[in-house]
Amino acid sequence: MNAKFSITSLGNIRVFFTRLGYHLERNGSYAKRAGPGTFPRYHVYAEVQGEQIRVSVHLDAKAPTYEGTSAHAGEYDGPLIEAEMQRIKDAIVG
């Protein structure tokens, strides 16, 4: 399962992901808690490529281990990612 897909229109990207429970990160990506704590969390990148918006989803299992790095334990496929991707796609249609 590839955790990336393309869509043609979302309107305002920030508003769209905010309605789905995501918040804007400093780097322009979006994150949403997947549990009661800060981690695990769903992490979405939405990159505009002409008329298309390329969406990439993964699950950050924990915070970066070393200060100054962005490396972390993450899941890029599996049932949790598939379910979140479908939730995003359903919101686009619905």
Identify the pLDDT of residue 70: 55
Are residues 46 and 71 in contact, defined by beta-carbon separation less than 8 angstroms? no
Residue whose C-alpha is closest to residue 51's, from 10, 80, 21, 1: 10
The alpha carbons of the chain give a radius of gyration, in whole angstroms, of 13
- Name the nearest CA neighbour of 2 among 64, 81, 88, 60: 81
Cβ atoms within 10 Å of 81's Cβ, excluding its own: 19
Q: Is the pTM of this model over 0.85?
A: no
- Per-residue pLDDT of 26-72, as tens digits, reads 999 999 999 898 899 999 999 888 888 899 999 998 876 666 555 55
